[in-house]
């Protein structure tokens, strides 16, 4: 019998090797060749077990049969035969049901539940998948509470006594199975839009993967970087930074760890470069969000930096700083001490508290800008148009928010000029036919930037004794360029017959109204000594203000989107005709 049993174990082991190792080398024409061979061997083992059933101990045989049903279930799922896969996995759990909490069954039962979870999510039945995975989670917790000893690994049911594995290894494998449960649950919660819960499970999964050293560095790093974006949305900058720092540190291991075959192809290298650039993009979002959130805290009702608020926040920060760092660090930390040190070093390169003045903002800006350069290295215009442009838009947004912290108007203008240069250079080469949405975004941002620069030049001019011709020229040229880009944006909304829509779509309503409002203001800002020209500008200005007022009367739902602009437009529609009358009277005093 012993010899016969050794042969059975050998067959089982060969089937496992075929499934996990050999199948990776299967040709594309026969992707499941090794899986099918493994299946045939598992069926043979099953037959041999049935023959042995007469004299064997019922409990032992049931567990061994459950192992085979499990392996067959996974095998059929892998070859996309889900119904057969489900049948085998269900049979496995039925055989184990009475003993599911005993050390020889618990790990197998949890893994069967995990695989049923995967199987149902492949069918897009997420709620059913959730049930299986949550039941696996509950079983793990119950077992750890009531017993807690390292349970047998399923493969040990087909091993000779002397081959059995150590308790340490058992524990590691059991914890890995449970980490899988949490990992799949995180995805299930994501699907069901239970975002908080998904983030919490993702965080626990990442932590456990580091603890038990069971992870692929690239995949781990990407998951951590993705999790950072969740923390950003919650304004938890310390947690977001921690995830990104850990992501960068773990990613750097990917280059050092030789892969199993170690004949890395050009494609693998390309993939690594892309992942690195994707993590860099998450860092850009971090810097941008931190700066923008600080601006929201500091700005007054006209969007300028409020110095009283600034002093108040600085005092408050001083007080909080000491308590906060200590309390929150404990909750998030990833990994073992050697990893922790590298992560801390990485974190120290960029702040996680709101910048409250230009110097602090500039430091965050420079980190963001470095990641822009890193991301652009991979996402070049050729081949990655959309990604490349999004990165340039983020770069422009970094300059925009830095300008908010700059007190000197001339230097602020220079920052906006940098934005114009980078945005115009990509806009020029863009075909609006293929990239309508991006084209509109760029037109609008260019117009806004020229508009902002014009306002700054007027503020600089107002400090002078009188406006010189150079400043007047500059103001007019900026205003005309802003008008040009707003008009281009509005033209993009016209139908093929060049007719402007009667009613605007929800997504373009606010930008279109703001563009009309700004054009009205811009015509009012043009400086000319020719009164006739001035009248024409006022007339154009009035037409744009009137458009806004009339549109909101016709479509009252639009009012919500443009309350401030509408109020000012109504005011101007009341004032402008009188001003124009006065100017006309000056022009033709004898009428």
Same domain, 73 and 200: yes
What confidence tens digit (pLDDT) does each residue in 221-247 have? 999 999 999 999 999 999 999 999 999
Res. 361 pLDDT band, cuts 50 70 90? very high
Instruction: Give the up-direction half-sphere exposure of residue 566: CA atoms within 13 A in the CB hemisphere.
Output: 15
314 located within any domain:
no
Residues 6+ apart with CB under 8 A from 129: 116, 117, 118, 119, 120, 121, 184, 188
Q: Rounded to an integer, what distance in angstroms lies between the CA atom of residue 233 and that of residue 239?
A: 11
433 located within any domain:
yes
Same domain, 110 and 190: yes
Q: Rounded to an integer, what distance in angstroms lies between the CA atom of residue 22 and that of residue 10?
A: 16
Q: Rounded to an integer, what distance in angstroms lies between the CA atom of residue 417 and that of residue 441?
A: 18
500 located within any domain:
no
376 located within any domain:
no
Same domain, 460 and 527: no
Res. 328 pLDDT band, cuts 50 70 90? low
Same domain, 118 and 156: yes
- Enumerate helices (H) and strands (E) in the chain, giving the number of each: 21, 0
Same domain, 80 and 207: yes
288 CB burial (10 A radius; 0-12, 13-18, 19+): buried
Closest CA to 331 of 222, 249, 236, 197: 236
Residue 465 has pLDDT above 60, yes or no: yes
Domain end position, chosen among 215, 236, 259: 215
Residue 53 is predicted with a pLDDT of 60
Q: Are 236 and 324 in contact (CB under 8 A)?
A: no
Same domain, 435 and 546: no
Residue 490 is predicted with a pLDDT of 96
Res. 336 pLDDT band, cuts 50 70 90? low
Closest CA to 522 of 579, 427, 453, 461: 453
258 located within any domain:
no
The first and second tokens of residue 74, run together, are 């996974």
What confidence tens digit (pLDDT) does each residue in 388-422 have? 999 999 999 999 999 999 999 999 999 999 999 99
Same domain, 443 and 586: no
Share of residues in the chain with pLDDT > 70 (%): 94
Instruction: Give the up-direction half-sphere exposure of residue 344: CA atoms within 13 A in the CB hemisphere.
Output: 10
Closest CA to 70 of 20, 123, 108: 108
Residues 6+ apart with CB under 8 A from 169: 153
Residue 164 is predicted with a pLDDT of 87
268 located within any domain:
no
Strand, coil or helix: 464: coil
Residue 353 has pLDDT above 70, yes or no: yes
Same domain, 473 and 546: no
Res. 256 pLDDT band, cuts 50 70 90? low
Residues 6+ apart with CB under 8 A from 112: 66, 70, 73, 89, 92, 93, 96
Q: Rounded to an integer, what distance in angstroms lies between the CA atom of residue 515 and that of residue 544?
A: 10
Domain end position, chosen among 191, 215, 239: 215
Across 54-81, average pLDDT? 89
Beta-ladder partners of 299: 305
Residue 266 is predicted with a pLDDT of 80
Which of left, alpha, beta for 113 (phi over 0: left; psi -120 to 50: alpha)?
A: alpha
What confidence tens digit (pLDDT) does each residue in 511-547 have? 999 999 999 999 999 999 998 999 999 999 999 999 9
How many of the other CB atoms lie within 10 Å of CB of 349?
A: 12
Average pLDDT, the chain: 91
The first and second tokens of residue 59, run together, are 């409990």
Q: Rounded to an integer, what distance in angstroms lies between the CA atom of residue 398 and that of residue 355?
A: 13
Domains in the chain: how many in total? 3
Residue 324 is predicted with a pLDDT of 64
Residue 258 has pLDDT above 60, yes or no: no
H helix intervals, 192-306: 195-211, 217-233, 237-256, 266-298
Residue 589 is predicted with a pLDDT of 67
Q: Are 519 and 525 in contact (CB under 8 A)?
A: no
Q: Supply angle C-alpha 380, 386, 387, rounded to 5.
A: 55
Q: Rounded to an integer, what distance in angstroms lies between the CA atom of residue 369 and that of residue 352?
A: 17
Q: pTM for the complete prediction?
A: 0.83
Strand, coil or helix: 305: strand
Same domain, 95 and 153: yes
249 located within any domain:
no
Domain end position, chosen among 215, 239, 272: 215
The phi, psi pair for 299, rounded to 5°, reads -85, 150
Residue 3 has pLDDT above 70, yes or no: no
Q: What per-residue string of b and e applies to 570-586 under the rule 16 or more CB within 10 Å gives b?
A: eebbeebeeebeeeeee
Closest CA to 132 of 90, 173, 91: 90
Give the helix/strand (H/E) hosting 258: none
449 located within any domain:
yes
Q: Rounded to an integer, what distance in angstroms lies between the CA atom of residue 484 and that of residue 478?
A: 10
CATH of the domain at 125: 1.25.40.10
Q: Rounded to an integer, what distance in angstroms lies between the CA atom of residue 475 and that of residue 530?
A: 16
Same domain, 89 and 207: yes
Same domain, 441 and 413: yes
How many of the other CB atoms lie within 10 Å of CB of 555?
A: 13
Q: What is the dihedral of CA 397, 420, 514, 482, to 10 degrees?
A: 170
Residue 462 belongs to what domain range?
408-494
Same domain, 203 and 63: yes
């Amino acid at each position: 019998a012993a010899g016969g049993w050794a042969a059975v174990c050998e067959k089982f082991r060969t089937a496992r090797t075929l499934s996990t190792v050999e199948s990776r080398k299967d040709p594309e024409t026969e992707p499941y060749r090794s899986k099918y061979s493994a299946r045939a061997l598992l069926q043979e083992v099953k037959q041999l077990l049935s023959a042995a059933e007469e004299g064997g101990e019922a409990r032992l045989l049931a567990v061994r049969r459950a192992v085979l049903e499990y392996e067959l279930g996974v095998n059929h799922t892998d070859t996309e035969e889900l119904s057969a896969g489900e049948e085998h996995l269900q049979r496995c759990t039925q055989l184990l049901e009475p003993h599911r909490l005993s050390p020889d069954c618990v790990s197998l039962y949890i893994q069967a539940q995990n695989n049923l979870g995967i199987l149902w999510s492949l069918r897009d039945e997420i709620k059913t998948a959730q049930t299986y995975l949550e039941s696996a989670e509950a079983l793990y917790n119950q077992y750890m509470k009531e017993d807690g000893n390292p349970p047998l690994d399923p493969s040990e049911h087909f091993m000779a006594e002397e081959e059995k594995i150590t308790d340490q290894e058992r524990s590691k494998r059991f914890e890995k199975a449970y980490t899988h449960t949490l990992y799949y649950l995180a995805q299930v919660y994501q699907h069901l839009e239970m975002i908080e819960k998904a983030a919490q499970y993702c965080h626990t999964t990442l932590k456990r993967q580091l603890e038990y050293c069971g992870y692929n560095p690239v995949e781990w790093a990407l998951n951590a970087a993705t999790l950072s974006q969740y923390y950003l949305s919650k304004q938890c900058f310390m947690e977001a930074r921690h995830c990104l720092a850990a992501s960068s540190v773990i990613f750097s291991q990917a280059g050092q760890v030789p892969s199993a075959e170690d004949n890395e192809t050009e494609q693998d290298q390309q993939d690594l470069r892309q992942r690195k650039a994707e993590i860099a993009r998450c860092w850009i979002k971090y810097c941008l969000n931190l700066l923008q959130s600080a601006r929201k805290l500091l700005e007054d009702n006209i969007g300028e930096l409020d110095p009283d608020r600034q002093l108040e926040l600085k005092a408050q920060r001083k007080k909080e700083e000491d308590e906060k760092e200590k309390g929150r660090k404990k909750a998030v930390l990833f990994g073992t001490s050697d990893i922790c040190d590298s992560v801390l070093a990485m974190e120290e390169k960029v702040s996680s508290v709101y910048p409250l003045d230009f110097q602090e903002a500039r430091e965050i800006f420079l980190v963001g800008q470095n990641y822009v350069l890193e991301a652009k290295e991979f996402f070049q215009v050729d081949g990655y148009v959309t990604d490349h442009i999004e990165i340039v838009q983020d770069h422009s947004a970094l300059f925009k928010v830095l300008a908010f912290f700059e007190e000197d108007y001339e230097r602020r203008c220079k920052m906006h000029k940098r934005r114009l240069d980078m945005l115009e250079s990509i806009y020029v080469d863009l075909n609006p036919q293929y990239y309508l949405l991006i084209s509109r975004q760029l037109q609008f941002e260019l117009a806004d930037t020229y508009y902002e620069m014009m306002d700054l030049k007027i503020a600089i001019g107002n400090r002078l004794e009188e406006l010189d011709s150079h400043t007047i020229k500059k103001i007019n040229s900026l205003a005309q360029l802003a008008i040009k880009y707003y008009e281009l944006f509005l033209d993009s909304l016209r139908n093929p017959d060049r007719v402007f829509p009667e009613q605007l779509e929800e997504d373009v309503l606010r930008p279109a109204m703001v563009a009309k409002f700004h054009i009205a203001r811009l015509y009012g800002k043009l400086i000319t000594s020719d009164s006739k020209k001035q009248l024409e500008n006022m007339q154009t200005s009035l037409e744009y203000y009137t458009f806004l007022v009339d549109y909101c009367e016709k479509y009252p739902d639009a009012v919500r989107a443009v309350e401030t602009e509408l109020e000012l437009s109504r005011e101007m529609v009341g004032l402008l005709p009188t001003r124009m009358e006065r100017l006309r009277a000056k022009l033709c005093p004898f009428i």
